[in-house]
Amino acid sequence: MNILVFNQSFFPLSETFVHRQVVGLSRYHDVTMLTYRYENEDKFPVNAKKLTLAPYEGLPDKLITKVLRVLAGKEAHRLSFQNRSRVSDLLQKGRIDVIHAHFGPSGIEMLPVAKKLGIPMVVSFHGIDAAPAMLNNREYADSIREVIEYAKAVIIVSPHFIDTLNLSRFSSKVHLIPYGADEQKFTPAETPQREQIVIQHVGRLVAKKGVPDLITAFSTLCGRYDNLELRIIGDGPEMPLCKDLVERLNLGEKVSLLGSKPHGVVNEHMKDADIYVLNSRTDHKGDMEGLPNSILEAMSMEKPVVSTYHAGIPQAIQDGVNGLLVGEKDNEGLAVALEMLIRDRDLRRRLGVAARQTIVAHFSANGMETKIQSVFAGL
């Protein structure tokens, strides 16, 4: 099968799941990648043909700008005349059998050409594209409805997308396929024997990650325990706020704001961590998570995870069974959950072992790849 995979960029560091899916498809099919920009090609090799469209004028092609394009109106998601002609030409000359669009806006861009040529489309929703932050815009929501109606298959990573995208009446073509962690890559590592307890966060410093509240909750624990360290990997618009908070709370020796790091460095920090935490929530604009890949990777490494009852996270974590969950924006509850793990090494070990068992059984990268293959086989 000849598959055209379209995304507005390949591959931002935050979209490793897209790379994994493209690699999986390329094992069994002829894959052509189409985008406005390629990045991190040395980190994410793939055996596929690569084509490029003329870029948006004045707009970078990262996911965050999708929100800005919504504000610009419906036409912001349409291919330019030049690009529409190019896409139509390559679809016909390349004898493309199916288009796989990653993220809702990509589906909107491909829809007119796919319809015109009668080429089936698969669309994958990943997070912000299925969140109120974008769907509250009527023009975007209407365009997404057209994409869903035309698509032969709709892939979602979390069951809550069924509600946000109103997918109930399309159940026959909706496929729930959570991201998977590579259990062969993200393996357990013995945490060093030490008095210090390292709590690790990995993720962009944006409102939906709740990092300022994490720092605040952590500060309440530092008054009772003098052996704690919070390491925060990631960068983003909330970095200045986080730095100011660390300074005001006198946490300079306890909290490390490390910025963005290569995957290899992240993995070394993860191996060294005692606890992994992701304080996710729906932000003030309605932006939400899907099922964060960092949680699955931490679980695969037998790290006890503290997170929230948010979006797709409860798919993977059962409170008290293979991790701990608290309510969104519940700083006190977050501190209590962290303290449970700080005080109880055996609990950390038990939850970590159960977490990896969950990944191997239900959230493996190979399992995700097999499920996606079955979607395309059934078209």
Residue ranges of alpha helices (H) inside the chain are 16-26, 64-71, 81-93, 104-117, 132-135, 138-150, 161-164, 211-222, 239-248, 263-272, 293-300, 313-316, 331-343, 345-362, 365-377
Query: In angstroms, rounded to a whole number, what is the distance separating the alpha carbons of residues 306 and 199?
Result: 10
* pLDDT tens column, 134-169: 999 999 999 999 999 999 999 999 999 999 999 999
Q: Six-digit token pair at 94?
A: 């390349």
* pLDDT tens column, 177-234: 999 999 999 999 888 889 999 999 999 999 999 999 999 999 999 999 999 999 999 9
* pLDDT tens column, 80-122: 656 878 899 999 999 999 999 999 999 999 999 999 999 999 9
Query: In angstroms, rounded to a whole number, what is the distance separating the alpha carbons of residues 22 and 10?
Result: 10
Task: Identify the residue whose tokens are 């909706």.
Answer: 174
Residue 265 has pLDDT above 60, yes or no: yes
* pLDDT tens column, 23-45: 999 999 999 999 999 999 998 99
Domains (range + CATH), the chain = 2-180+364-377 (3.40.50.2000), 197-362 (3.40.50.2000)
Residue 72 has pLDDT above 70, yes or no: no
What is the structure's pLDDT at 339?
99
Residues 46/19, Cβ–Cβ less than 8 Å: yes
Query: In angstroms, rounded to a whole number, what is the distance separating the alpha carbons of residues 180 and 291?
Result: 10
DSSP track, 275-294: EEE------TT----SS-HH
Residue 288 has pLDDT above 80, yes or no: yes
**Residue 26 CB contacts under 8 Å (≥ 6 apart), including other chains:** 46, 47, 48
Mean pLDDT value across the chain: 92
What is the structure's pLDDT at 85?
83
User: Which residues on neighbouring strands pair with residue 100, listed in sequence order?
Assistant: 5, 122
**Mutual orientation of helices 211-222 and 331-343 as an angle, nearest 10°?**
50
pTM for this model (two decimals): 0.87
Residue 65 has pLDDT above 60, yes or no: no
What is the structure's pLDDT at 57?
53
